[in-house]
């Protein structure tokens, strides 16, 4: 299990230092949630801010675009240092064109599904992408409770990926902590996004190590 601290839970007044703190604690990815106030009812930050904090870590920048028209902003986030860009299948942009745009910049591409969206909605695109992100809360705000009934989606995705012998990883995001991360691993999740469980821990290094241990 790879651990991707959700920077939505960090102290934004110390954004760069928080990334460095997670890096030193053993994070595998840095998960950056970009919200436009339209696709989801919240606003976070854009590419200029991300570009500034990119220098604080060499770890993978895993950028989750919760925006209505991701295709318009792919170049901005690639220029800002994204390693992976995921966008919602429910967004207004054409999925194939958006995937192709991301890949043309030598950045990994992924699709995201909201809780009410079936796993099968991304099956037609699996051979084009590198990741599927399964939301285990409604996107928009941190600190929500984990929705265990989303895990069958991860199982369905893993089965389809294995059946087609594809190299696609599954990420889960929302309310993940030591009580449920093992269930995520059993369902086929490869990357767990953890916000409160890591940022609010007294010792983030121990918290990340514990999350990984729970999955063994």
What amino acid positions are annotated as catalytic residues? 33, 173
Helix H or strand E segment including 187? helix 181-187
Q: What is the CA radius of gyration of the chain?
A: 16
Among 84, 127, 126, 134, smallest CA distance to 105 is for: 84
Rounded CA gap, 139 and 119, in Å?
A: 16
**DSSP codes of every residue in 37-61:** SSSSS-B---HHHHHHHGGG--SEE
Axis crossing angle, helix 15-24 with helix 204-214, rounded to the nearest 10: 50
Contact present, 176 and 8 (Cβ < 8 Å): no
């Amino acid at each position: 299990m790879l651990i991707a601290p959700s920077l939505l839970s960090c102290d934004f007044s110390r954004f760069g230092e928080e990334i460095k703190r997670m890096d030193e604690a053993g994070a595998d990815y840095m998960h950056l949630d970009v919200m436009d106030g339209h696709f989801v009812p919240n606003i976070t930050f854009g590419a200029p801010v991300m570009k500034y904090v990119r220098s604080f870590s060499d770890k993978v920048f895993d950028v989750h675009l919760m925006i209505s028209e991701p295709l318009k902003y792919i170049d901005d986030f690639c220029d800002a240092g994204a390693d992976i860009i995921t966008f919602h299948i429910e967004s207004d942009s054409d999925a194939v064109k958006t995937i192709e745009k991301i890949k043309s910049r030598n950045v990994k591409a992924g699709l995201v599904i909201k809780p009410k969206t079936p796993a099968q909605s991304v099956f037609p695109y699996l051979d084009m992408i590198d990741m599927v992100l399964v939301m285990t809360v409604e996107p928009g705000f941190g600190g929500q409770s984990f929705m265990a009934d989303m895990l069958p989606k991860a199982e369905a995705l893993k089965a389809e990926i294995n059946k087609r012998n594809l190299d696609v990883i599954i990420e889960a995001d929302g309310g993940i902590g030591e009580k449920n991360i093992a269930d995520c691993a059993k369902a086929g999740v490869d990357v767990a996004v953890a916000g409160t469980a890591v940022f609010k821990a007294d010792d983030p290094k121990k918290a990340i190590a514990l999350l990984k241990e729970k999955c063994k």
